[in-house]
Structures are given as structure tokens and as C-alpha cells.
Amino acid sequence: MSVESQATVWITGAAGRMGRTISARLDHNRYRVVTTDRELDIVDLQRSLAFAESERPSFVINCAALASRTEAEANPDRAYQVNALGARNLAIASASVGATLVHLSTDDLFPVTSEHPFNEFDPTDPPHVYGKSKLAGERFVCELNRRHIIVRSSWVYTAEPDDILPRALKASREGRTVYVPANQFACPTSADTFAKAVVAVMESNEFGTFHAACTGVTSRFEFFERAFELVGEPIGNLRGASKPEHGYRIELDNMMARLTGVFEMPTWEDDLAAFVARHDLAAAGGEE
């Protein structure tokens, strides 16, 4: 494909972990990838419209978010600005140039305790400001750009040194005790696999809301135990913590992926094993 015939993909929040991972996953021979982060505040509708008009993207992938629950509770106005109005502005901007908007979302839209998996057609009921602001963003996306794809994730982890797993490995190797919640259950998914699913649905000519979580549900403590074993790190420094107020169980069911055949997620165990091998987490400090 020549440069002239490349489709343009605009990634917002591109300096973040998912923005970088998705950019690396895209075929840069097939796509002209343009990235923005803090230098283009998606809360500014006019700037978002102007950038879309200038670059004329075929796809906009929104990785920008205020993702800290603590920060969202402390500053709800800012959470709604970024997660709701930012999504609204990108929906308007992408629709203005006929682009498909791929909007990243979260399992935090659902109640914190449930014994059954949530599929894309189940009602949402977010229990906190972060989830409520993300749900508001989803609604704007659905209302304002008919060519939309929403992809919800669950427990996305990376190999970056400041992420939870590399930090835990480093602490354990230094002889420190690592406390891990034993009463938080979800579907851990590597950033690599989530990015693969995002690109697959983007390229599928399908639309709507998709869950992209690894299959199976596990606790954070069991996840860390398995990761340590795969890396060859003794688990003696791991300690389970079970504060009742911090407990939850959220399992996503990838129903839309099954119905459309767009992608198939691995089990969390297989994904973790492949992730550990790919990123060489056995290296000192868990760094690549």
C-alpha cells in the first residue's frame, strides 16, 4: 500500500500505556498513524474538530481517560470532563469527517459483586464516579457517531517497570513483603492481547459494543501467584489481603465477539504465560 492510499488512524491519549501498545500493534505500512496526548485536550471541542478536519482520519481510537477511581472521586467535574465530554467531542469530531470512532471503556460500568458474567447486553450500574463518567462517555459515543466501536476491558496489565506486576516482582526480589488483594476477582488481560482485539474489531467492519477480556475469572492473589511461578520467583513474599470494603467480583463475557466471530480471547492463564515469555519478566526487576 502506498503512502498516498494509507488510511489515517488518529490515536488520542497516545502517550499512555494502551495508546502506545495499540500504536505498536497497528500495521504502519497499512496505516498513517497520528498521535496526540496532552498537547491536544479532547475536552476542547473546537480543537478536536479542527484536528479531525486537518488530518481527515478514517479511524479515531480514543485511549484518553481519567482512569484513577480515587482521582475521579476527588474531582468528579474533571472525571466527567475527560471521560464524558472528551468522548462526546471525539464522537462529534470523528462523525464530522466520516471516521469510525473506537472508544476504549471498562468493566467498571457494572456492579462490583455478581456471580454471573456480564455480556454487552446486560444493564450497567456503575457504583462510583469513574464508572459513571465512563458510562456517560459511552452514551455520547453511541448517540453522536453511528460508526462507533466501544471496547471494554478488564484488569489490563503491562510489562512496564511502574506497572503492578513488575513492581511486585522487584519488591519480592528485594526481600520485601508484597500484599495483594485476595477478594478482588476479574479477568486479567495483557495489554498486548487487548490491543490485538481492538485492532481486530476495528478492521472487521463491525460496529457496536464489544467486551475484550480473557476468559476465566481469578483473584488478584491467584494471578500474582501464577505470574511468580511462571517467572521462577518464589511466592514466599506474597501475602493475601482481604479487606471487605475492597472486595469485588466482575467477570466479562465476550458475547459480541462470539456472535460476530471477530476475535477469540485466550484464557487468562494462557495469556499470562505468553506475556511472561514475550516480555522476559524473569529479568532483574521485571524489566524488559
Q: What is the pLDDT of residues 173-194, one digit of tens each?
A: 999 999 999 999 999 999 999 9
pLDDT of residue 3: 41
pLDDT of residue 284: 41
pLDDT of residue 283: 61
Mean pLDDT, the chain, as a whole number? 94
For residue 218, count CB atoms less than 10 angstroms from its CB and return exposed for 0-12, middle for 13-18, buried for 19 or more. buried
pLDDT above 50 (res 29): yes
pLDDT of residue 287: 42
Confidence of residue 113 (pLDDT cuts 50, 70, 90): confident
Q: What is the mean pLDDT of the segment spanning 191-207? A: 97
pLDDT above 70 (res 36): yes
pTM: 0.94
> Kind of pairing, strands 218-219 and 184-186?
antiparallel
Q: What is the mean pLDDT of the segment spanning 58-70? A: 96
**Angstrom distance (rounded) from CA 171 to CA 123:** 40
